[in-house]
């Protein structure tokens, strides 16, 4: 038996080289994509948590302010240190400074960490200065620089530097380096007291990192202290940080994984189409083997075995491909999968056994699943009939199933849309749009299920009309041999539906982002300083009349931690009047008037979705070390800050006691002085490491990031279309081959080769037309689900549905043409042999 | 005073070496009259200060030794920095428990004042995190509270005085070397009654025993040529108290020595350098660093001859601060013309104390 099985597989692979290779490739693609996503993400997370451990150390818990402008009072640090359950409190002041040394400027701000060497030694050993520069150097005026920073500034230990943050300045010296800093860390470390004396805050620190005594129960300890904390402070388990980071990219990863699953499914479909035709074409051989004693079970196993023979090399290739893809991707784009979540990191890809085996098994399972139905069909083939007349598309055992096709299909086509509609109404499950994905699957099933019914209705009607002989032959073929036609059509339905839906979703999104960029970039020029206030000199110069600007809008950034389980919400302090809000932000709905004695804030759409807020509601924000009751004045559209943003007017922020540390500028040059304005900015901002950009540049950059993040999607669309087309070609060729005798008979009856070819091409066109039509309908439905359900649930932003008709119809036309070309190829294959030989060889 | 200042040196070596000239430390003065409880508190203008409690417990186990020491150091750094957390005053603490036959458990902490640690300048009240030494009450009701929490052991003890303070040297001014400039302010409080609890292996047990409290502050370091010292403080069984020390040179000879014996009735006898002698009887060699400590010694104080017998040979303490340093500090049983329990400290055997 084994020898027979291998012999059959070899024969099968030899005769269907292209089909087999493509099936393998499709499986490989699905496995590769899923595996690559897994590898990249694992590596990026490991990289991130390592980076975090290098800078944050490995505390058990972290005490910090909810507001990035807030502080942890020294008194609280000292109080918590006296808890017998606390082994060490490592206080830290973290800030960003500009580094200048004579003519050398640091450009982008550099992180300055003020630490206490006694506590840091145990909690943050990677931040300790070199031994021989000793603990004592830490107590005096001086900073320690990471090797990467020294290399970038081309400075040596001993160099005098000036550190600047806003109006505060520290003239000091680099007294040592940080040997344990990671090779890409740009860091300065100094004694906490010196950082506090130079940059503040007085009587407070940024964070306390805590080590607890062994045996302390972290959860209950956190609970006890959290209840005692003053407003505006939060205590979190440090182990959650990696988890929270993982959550940041979770929705994005799930989306990509669904795409990988789609690739795998198309692979399974291709295996299905290939094996089905293989079973049909070899029905006589199998029948003969059956008569010679090959049991039905063995016939079933043989087809499954053949499926596995495609799956195993496919999955293995997929693993190799995925590994290579992950490697290439991290080299080129870093570890953020194009999502922009971990930019700057260069993670190391490492394959582990268990996940690799799982992805391998997934590939094999997909090809096995594809072979399942053909295998079963092979088992139930009536031997005698198969020997005599060849493959039975509807074996006797299945007749019952097809007896009431119209009724069951009608019921299904009534119930499935209802079920899909119901699923789209369900909320996200655990933050993921799982019901939405379910609805998409249902739409696809529905499309495939109604295909035969539609075929019969449409072509039944067509067949009753007067047609030319070749056309009549084609139509009759489709109406009466629906299995092959359905297989061919369903491949197209699925692949075209997915393509249309992706194109629809992406173009809707792109259009929405485009419009949104218009709204959020009203000024011609923007200046930004990452993570630190803009230099005082620049702000002062802007105030003077000589500056060639008609209008300036200042703003500042912060971060508020509203929920320890979620990433912080961005706080935007903007120079704007309450009354102007409607004109300054792209609101999604009405703007609520807020009483003059209340503080209005305007929240972004993701924030509204994440925290279930509504305009007019009171929102308690942890601002400036206390809880401040604000009123939500409206919800604005935001496609850039996925975890929420809240805008407050700078006047209100200052009135609350906040310091308006301007970090961003929107600038409107005076009319006719645009070039002068740019030159003025370049001169005044030189050496500060500021980002200066025209709105058009920001816009182009944003759109290019957008396109980059959908690069994987585009690749998949192309793959899906190719697979769909190939499925059509394979099944058409098989069905034509099966009817070689019939074609020969037609030819004997006077059909010439051109007429026969035209008949087959017409058949191909009709099937492709049905597939494309249904695919288009399903695709738009799925596009709507992606846009209105999956996107808001996964990413918390909404947009209008825009179907790019031109692209879609062009795609459909191209596919139709390709389908007709494929059927022409099939027809030429079938009519190549002389009719007499075909007729003679049959029985 | 030199005897424990060395503990700080590895931590602060560069700071001490570099800063000595720039900062004006207060000097121990013979004319200073001590007043309590104020002088139980810290003297931050001096370079070094420590509060030191050692004792022998009866419960949970006979002859279980314990010690808790808080050091305050003014490294002379960041003196002019205007920040509440400037590293101008730094605290260190060492705690140890010796179980006879089982060995020594040791733990240490370090922090700058006002950042997880603090001290009072008006009374004995010093802490690093939850580790604490605090005096409270007045007259006969006064007491010292000790608290230590570590992964391996913990204790919370209440120390009640049974006798008056013992001001060492001349009213608390204690000379430490042949040059009169080498001196400290030194106050002892022997025969303290101990009650409280000791936690070992996660098991908390009641504790009783006798303890000895030392408080010493100064600004001068070891004289040139000295490498270490031997020091002992003994609670005698008859209610008396004996303190003796000697400073050694590189050859092991005494550079300076002194002893004070207070009888149970309060009579104080001081012994000069020529009346005090330390003679090794048996050495124990550390398996960690090969240092050879004379764990059994004969100590001569005037007419008295006493011998030390450690409850456990290995009571060596090694700290893991930037530079490794080791010394021997542990409970010894005293026999001879006087009997009791004492704490013996021997330094400079594994490393030279030369600055």
Check CB contact of A207 with chain B, cutoff 8 Å: no
Three-state DSSP at A733 gives helix
**Which pLDDT belongs to residue B13?**
38
Chain A residues near residue B150 by CB distance under 8 angstroms: 213
- Tell me B141's DSSP state: G
Residues of chain A above pLDDT 70, percent: 89
Greatest Cα-to-Cα distance within chain B, rounded to the nearest angstrom: 57
Dihedral sign for Cα atoms in the order A749, A753, A758, A764: positive
Three-state DSSP at B308 gives strand
- A396 token code pair: 């006797």
Three-state DSSP at A12 gives helix
- Which of the residues B129, B132, B320 would you substitute to probe the A interface, choosing the one with the greatest number of A C-beta atoms within 10 Å? B129
> Nearest-CA distance from A502 to chain B in Å?
57
What is the number of CB-based contacts under 8 A between chain A and chain B? 101
Dihedral sign for Cα atoms in the order B69, B72, B73, B78: positive
Co-location of A88 and A204 in the same domain: yes
Check CB contact of B323 with chain A, cutoff 8 Å: no
The whole domain housing B298 covers 2-22+35-346
In a domain, A695, yes or no: no
C-alpha separations of A404 from A398, A408, A409, A452, A481 in Å: 11, 6, 8, 12, 16
Co-location of A539 and A505 in the same domain: no
Of the pLDDT bands very low, low, confident and very high (cuts 50, 70, 90), residue A330 is: confident
Residues A641, B169: Cα–Cα separation, whole Å: 72
In terms of Cα–Cα distance, which of A302, A454, A485, A299 is closest to A383?
A299
Concatenated DSSP letters for A308-322? HHHHHHHHHHHHHHH
With tokens 């006694």, the residue in question is: A118
Contact A194 B83 (CB under 8 A): yes
Angle at A826 between CA A821 and CA A832, to 5 degrees: 125
Co-location of A210 and A143 in the same domain: yes
Cβ atoms within 10 Å, residue A40? 27
* B203: exposed, middle or buried (Cβ count in 10 Å: 0-12, 13-18, 19+): exposed
Per-residue 3-state assignment (H helix, E strand, C coil) for A48-108 = HHHHHHHHHCCCCEEEEECECCCCEEHHHHHHHHCCCCEEEEEEEEEEEEEEEECCEECCC
Chain A residues near residue B84 by CB distance under 8 angstroms: 74, 202-203
Cβ atoms within 10 Å, residue B290? 9
Query: Is residue A139 scored above 90 in pLDDT?
Result: no
B122-126 long-range contacts (CB < 8 A, ≥24 apart) are B122/B37, B122/B38, B122/B41, B123/B37, B123/B38, B123/B40, B123/B41, B124/B37, B124/B40, B124/B41, B124/B51, B124/B215, B125/B41, B126/B42, B126/B51, B126/B70, B126/B72, B126/B91
Contact A81 B87 (CB under 8 A): no
Asked which of A237, A260, A294 is the last residue of a domain, the reply is A237
Three-state DSSP at B312 gives coil
Co-location of A65 and A132 in the same domain: yes
Co-location of A306 and A383 in the same domain: yes
Rounded to 10 degrees, what is the CA torsion of A404, A406, A409, A415? Answer: -110
Chain A residues near residue B14 by CB distance under 8 angstroms: 134-137
Residues B112, A135: Cα–Cα separation, whole Å: 12
Co-location of A735 and A813 in the same domain: yes
Angle at A170 between CA A166 and CA A175, to 5 degrees: 140
Scanning A684-743 for CB atoms below 8 A from B yields none
pLDDT digits (tens, 9 = 90+) for B14-47: 344 444 446 889 988 899 999 999 999 999 999 9
In a domain, A417, yes or no: no
Co-location of A392 and A494 in the same domain: no
Of the pLDDT bands very low, low, confident and very high (cuts 50, 70, 90), residue A833 is: low
- Count of domains for chain B: 1
* A696: exposed, middle or buried (Cβ count in 10 Å: 0-12, 13-18, 19+): exposed
Asked which of A193, A209, A237 is the last residue of a domain, the reply is A237
- B38 token code pair: 């104020």
As a residue count, chain B comes to: 355
Angle at A429 between CA A426 and CA A430, to 5 degrees: 155
Chain B residues near residue A202 by CB distance under 8 angstroms: 84
In a domain, B354, yes or no: no
Dihedral sign for Cα atoms in the order A12, A18, A21, A26: negative
Query: Is residue A38 scored above 50 in pLDDT?
Result: yes
Of the pLDDT bands very low, low, confident and very high (cuts 50, 70, 90), residue A399 is: very low
Co-location of A745 and A676 in the same domain: no
Query: Is residue A493 scored above 90 in pLDDT?
Result: no
Rounded to 10 degrees, what is the CA torsion of A508, A513, A519, A522? Answer: -140
Residues A343, A337: Cα–Cα separation, whole Å: 10
Q: What is the mean pLDDT of chain A?
A: 82
Co-location of A36 and A73 in the same domain: no
C-alpha separations of B84 from A692, A723, B70 in Å: 39, 70, 21
Three-state DSSP at A477 gives helix
In a domain, B323, yes or no: yes
Q: Which of A91, A139, A213 has the CB atom closest to B77's CB atom?
A: A139
In a domain, B123, yes or no: yes
Of the pLDDT bands very low, low, confident and very high (cuts 50, 70, 90), residue A770 is: confident
The whole domain housing A166 covers 59-237
Q: What is the mean pLDDT of chain B?
A: 88
**Which pLDDT belongs to residue B11?**
38
Co-location of A357 and A388 in the same domain: yes
Check CB contact of B151 with chain A, cutoff 8 Å: yes
Of the pLDDT bands very low, low, confident and very high (cuts 50, 70, 90), residue A484 is: low
Concatenated DSSP letters for A518-551? HHH--SSEEEE-TTSPPPHHHHHHHHSTTS-EEE
Co-location of A446 and A588 in the same domain: no
Residues B255, B276: Cα–Cα separation, whole Å: 12
Check CB contact of B42 with chain A, cutoff 8 Å: no
Terminal Cα-to-Cα distance of chain B (whole angstroms): 15
- Give the strand pairing for A645-649 and A569-574: parallel
In terms of Cα–Cα distance, which of A156, A168, A142 is closest to A104?
A156
Of the pLDDT bands very low, low, confident and very high (cuts 50, 70, 90), residue A412 is: confident
What angle in degrees, to the nearest 10, is found between the helix axes of A405-425 and A753-785? Answer: 30
Query: Is residue A531 scored above 80 in pLDDT?
Result: no
**Which pLDDT belongs to residue B150?**
92
In a domain, A242, yes or no: no
Check CB contact of A613 with chain B, cutoff 8 Å: no
- Tell me A202's DSSP state: T
Q: Which of B81, B116, B130 has the CB atom closest to A119's CB atom?
A: B116
In a domain, B351, yes or no: no
Cross-strand bridge partners of residue B192 = B161, B211
Residues B198, B205: Cα–Cα separation, whole Å: 5
Contact B83 A197 (CB under 8 A): yes
Q: Which of B18, B81, B117 has the CB atom closest to A197's CB atom?
A: B81
> Nearest-CA distance from B153 to chain A in Å?
11
Of the pLDDT bands very low, low, confident and very high (cuts 50, 70, 90), residue A836 is: low
Check CB contact of A327 with chain B, cutoff 8 Å: no
Check CB contact of A136 with chain B, cutoff 8 Å: yes
C-alpha separations of B196 from A254, A743, B157, B243, B340 in Å: 59, 105, 4, 26, 22
In a domain, B8, yes or no: yes
Name residues whose C-beta falls within 8 Å of residue B197's C-beta, 6 or more positions apart in sequence: B155, B156, B157, B204, B205, B206, B207
**Which pLDDT belongs to residue A469?**
74
Check CB contact of B84 with chain A, cutoff 8 Å: yes
Co-location of A673 and A535 in the same domain: yes
Over range A166-173, report the average pLDDT: 89
The count of C-alpha atoms lying within 13 angstroms of the C-alpha of B246, restricted to the half-sphere facing its C-beta, is: 19
Residues B95, B107: Cα–Cα separation, whole Å: 5
Contact B129 A81 (CB under 8 A): yes
In a domain, A419, yes or no: no
In terms of Cα–Cα distance, which of A622, A555, A692, A553 is closest to A233?
A622
- A20 token code pair: 């087999």
**Which pLDDT belongs to residue B72?**
93
Three-state DSSP at A158 gives coil
- Count of domains for chain A: 4
The count of C-alpha atoms lying within 13 angstroms of the C-alpha of B29, restricted to the half-sphere facing its C-beta, is: 8
Residues B273, B194: Cα–Cα separation, whole Å: 33
Check CB contact of A60 with chain B, cutoff 8 Å: no
Check CB contact of A139 with chain B, cutoff 8 Å: yes
Contact in structure between B327 and B350 (CB atoms under 8 Å): yes
In a domain, B125, yes or no: yes
Contact B82 A197 (CB under 8 A): yes
**Which pLDDT belongs to residue A390?**
64
Low-confidence ranges of chain B (pLDDT < 70): 1-22, 221, 320-324, 351-355
Dihedrals phi, psi of B85, to nearest 5 degrees = -115, 25
**DSSP H or E segment with residue A655:** helix A650-655
Contact in structure between A315 and A15 (CB atoms under 8 Å): no
Concatenated DSSP letters for A113-142? EEE-HHHHHHH-GGGPPPGGGTTGGGGSS-
More confident residue, A625 or B161: B161
Rounded to 10 degrees, what is the CA torsion of B72, B74, B79, B85? Answer: -20
Residue A139 backbone class (left: φ over 0; alpha: ψ -120 to 50; beta: rest)? alpha
With tokens 């000091």, the residue in question is: A172
**Which pLDDT belongs to residue B138?**
86
In a domain, A428, yes or no: no
Check CB contact of A131 with chain B, cutoff 8 Å: yes
Query: Is residue A400 scored above 70 in pLDDT?
Result: no
Check CB contact of B86 with chain A, cutoff 8 Å: yes
Residues of chain A above pLDDT 90, percent: 23
In a domain, B98, yes or no: yes
Scanning B90-119 for CB atoms below 8 A from A yields 90, 110-112, 114-118
Per-residue 3-state assignment (H helix, E strand, C coil) for A209-236 = EEEECCCCCHHHHHHHHHHHCCCCEEEE
Q: What is the CATH number of the domain that holds B271?
A: 2.40.370.10
- Tell me A348's DSSP state: P
**Which pLDDT belongs to residue A258?**
74
Q: Which of A78, A135, A193 has the CB atom closest to B322's CB atom?
A: A135
Residue A457 backbone class (left: φ over 0; alpha: ψ -120 to 50; beta: rest)? alpha
In a domain, B276, yes or no: yes
């Amino acid at each position: 038996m084994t020898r027979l099985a291998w012999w059959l597989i070899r024969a099968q692979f030899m005769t269907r080289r292209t089909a087999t290779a493509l099936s393998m490739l499709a499986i490989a693609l699905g496995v590769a994509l899923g595996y690559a996503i897994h590898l990249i993400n694992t590596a990026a997370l490991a990289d991130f948590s390592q980076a975090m451990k290098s800078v944050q150390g490995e505390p058990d818990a972290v005490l910090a302010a909810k507001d990035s402008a807030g502080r942890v009072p020294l008194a609280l640090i000292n109080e918590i240190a006296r808890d017998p359950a606390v082994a060490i409190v490592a206080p830290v002041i973290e800030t960003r400074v500009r580094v200048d040394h004579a003519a050398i400027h640091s450009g982008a701000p550099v992180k300055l960490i003020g630490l206490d060497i006694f506590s840091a030694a145990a909690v943050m050993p990677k931040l300790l200065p070199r031994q021989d520069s000793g603990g004592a150097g830490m107590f005096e005026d001086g900073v320690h620089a990471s090797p990467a920073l020294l290399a970038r500034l081309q400075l040596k230990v001993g160099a005098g530097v000036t550190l600047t943050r806003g109006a505060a300045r520290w003239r000091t010296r680099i007294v040592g380096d940080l040997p344990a800093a990671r090779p890409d860390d740009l860091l300065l470390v100094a004694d906490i007291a010196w950082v506090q004396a130079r940059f503040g805050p007085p009587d407070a620190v940024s964070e306390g990192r805590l080590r607890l005594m062994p045996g302390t129960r972290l959860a209950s300890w956190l609970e006890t202290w959290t209840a005692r904390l003053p407003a505006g402070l939060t205590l979190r388990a440090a182990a959650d940080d990696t988890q929270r980071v993982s959550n940041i990219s979770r929705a994005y990863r799930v989306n990509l994984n669904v795409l990988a699953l789609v690739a795998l499914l198309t692979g399974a479909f291709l295996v299905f189409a290939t094996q089905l035709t293989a079973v049909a074409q070899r029905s006589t051989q199998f029948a003969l083997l059956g008569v010679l004693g090959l049991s039905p079970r063995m016939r079933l196993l043989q087809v499954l075995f053949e499926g596995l023979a495609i799956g195993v090399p496919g999955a293995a290739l997929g693993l190799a491909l995925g590994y290579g893809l992950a490697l290439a991707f991290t080299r080129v784009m870093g570890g953020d999968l194009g999502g922009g979540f971990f930019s700057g990191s260069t993670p190391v890809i490492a394959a582990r056994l268990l996940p690799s085996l799982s992805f391998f098994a997934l590939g094999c399972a997909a090809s096995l699943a594809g072979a399942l139905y053909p295998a079963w069909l092979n088992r139930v083939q009536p031997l005698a009939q198969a020997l005599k007349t060849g493959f039975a598309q509807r074996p006797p055992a299945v007749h019952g199933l097809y007896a009431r096709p119209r009724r069951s299909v009608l019921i299904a086509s009534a119930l499935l849309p209802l079920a899909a509609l119901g699923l789209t109404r369900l909320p996200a499950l655990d933050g993921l749009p799982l019901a939405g994905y379910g609805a998409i699957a249902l739409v696809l099933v529905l499309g495939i299920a109604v295909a035969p019914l539609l075929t019969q209705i449409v072509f039944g009607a067509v067949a009753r009309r007067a047609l030319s002989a070749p056309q009549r032959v084609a139509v009759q073929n489709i109406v009466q041999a629906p299995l092959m036609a359905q297989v061919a059509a369903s491949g197209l339905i699925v692949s075209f539906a997915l393509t249309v839906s992706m194109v629809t979703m992406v173009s809707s999104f792109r259009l929405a982002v485009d419009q949104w960029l218009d709204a959020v970039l009203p000024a011609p020029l923007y200046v930004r300083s990452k993570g630190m206030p803009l230099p005082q000199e620049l702000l002062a110069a802007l105030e003077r009349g000589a500056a060639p600007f008609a209008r300036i809008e200042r703003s500042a950034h912060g971060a508020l931690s509203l929920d320890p389980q979620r990433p912080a919400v961005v706080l935007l302090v903007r120079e704007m009047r309450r009354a102007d809000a409607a004109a300054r932000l792209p609101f999604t709905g009405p703007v609520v008037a807020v009483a003059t004695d209340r503080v209005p804030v305007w929240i972004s759409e993701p924030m509204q979705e994440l925290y279930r807020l509504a305009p007019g509601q009171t929102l308690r924000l942890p601002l400036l070390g206390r809880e401040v009751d604000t009123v939500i004045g409206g919800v604005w559209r935001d496609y850039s800050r996925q975890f929420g943003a809240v805008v407050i007017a700078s006047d209100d922020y200052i009135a609350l006691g906040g310091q308006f540390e301007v970090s961003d500028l929107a600038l409107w040059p005076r009319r006719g002085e645009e070039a002068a304005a740019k030159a003025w900015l370049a001169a005044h901002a030189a050496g500060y490491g500021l980002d200066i950009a025209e709105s058009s540049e920001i816009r182009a950059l944003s759109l290019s990031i957008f396109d980059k993040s959908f690069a994987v999607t585009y690749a998949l669309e192309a793959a899906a279309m190719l697979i769909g087309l190939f499925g059509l070609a394979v099944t058409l060729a098989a069905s034509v081959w099966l009817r070689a005798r019939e074609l020969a008979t037609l030819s004997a009856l006077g059909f010439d080769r051109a007429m026969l070819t035209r008949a087959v091409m017409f058949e191909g066109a009709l099937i492709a037309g049905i597939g494309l039509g249904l695919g288009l309908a399903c695709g738009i439905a799925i596009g709507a689900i992606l846009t209105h359900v999956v996107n808001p649930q996964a990413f918390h932003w909404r947009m209008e549905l825009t179907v790019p008709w031109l692209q879609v119809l062009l795609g459909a036309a191209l596919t139709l043409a390709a389908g007709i070309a494929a059927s022409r190829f099939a027809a030429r294959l079938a009519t190549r042999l002389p009719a007499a030989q075909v007729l003679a060889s049959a029985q | 005073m030199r005897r424990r200042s060395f503990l700080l040196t590895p931590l602060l070596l560069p700071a001490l070496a570099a800063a000595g000239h720039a900062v004006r430390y207060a000097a121990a003065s013979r004319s200073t009259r001590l007043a309590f409880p104020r002088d139980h508190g810290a003297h931050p203008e001096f370079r070094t200060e420590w509060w030191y409690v050692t004792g022998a417990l009866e419960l949970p186990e006979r002859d279980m030794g314990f010690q808790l020491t808080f050091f305050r150091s003014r490294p002379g750094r960041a003196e002019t920095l205007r920040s509440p957390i400037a590293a101008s005053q730094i605290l260190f603490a060492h705690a140890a428990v010796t179980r006879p036959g089982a060995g020594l458990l040791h733990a240490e902490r370090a922090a700058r004042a006002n950042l997880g640690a603090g001290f009072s300048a008006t009374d004995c009240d010093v802490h690093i995190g939850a580790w604490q030494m605090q005096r409270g009450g007045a007259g006969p009701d006064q007491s010292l509270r000790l608290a230590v929490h570590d992964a391996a052991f913990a204790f919370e003890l209440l120390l009640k005085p049974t006798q008056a303070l013992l001001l060492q040297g001349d009213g608390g001014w204690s000379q430490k070397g042949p040059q009169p400039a080498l001196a400290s302010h030194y106050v002892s409080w022997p025969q303290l009654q101990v009650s409280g609890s000791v936690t070992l292996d996660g098991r908390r047990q009641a504790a009783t025993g006798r303890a000895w409290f030392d408080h010493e502050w100064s600004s001068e370091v070891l004289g040139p040529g000295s490498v270490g010292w031997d020091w002992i403080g003994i609670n005698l069984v008859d209610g008396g108290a004996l303190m003796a020390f000697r400073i050694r040179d590189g050859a092991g000879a005494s550079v300076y020595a002194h002893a004070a014996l207070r009888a149970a009735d309060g009579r104080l006898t001081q012994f000069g350098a020529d009346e005090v002698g330390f003679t090794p009887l048996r050495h124990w060699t550390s398996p960690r660093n090969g240092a050879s400590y004379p764990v059994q010694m004969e100590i001569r104080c005037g007419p008295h001859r006493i011998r030390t017998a450690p409850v456990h040979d290995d009571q060596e303490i090694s700290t893991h601060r930037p530079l490794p340093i080791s010394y021997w500090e542990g409970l010894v049983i005293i026999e001879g013309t006087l009997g009791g329990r004492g704490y013996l400290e021997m330094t400079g055997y594994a490393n030279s104390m030369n600055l």
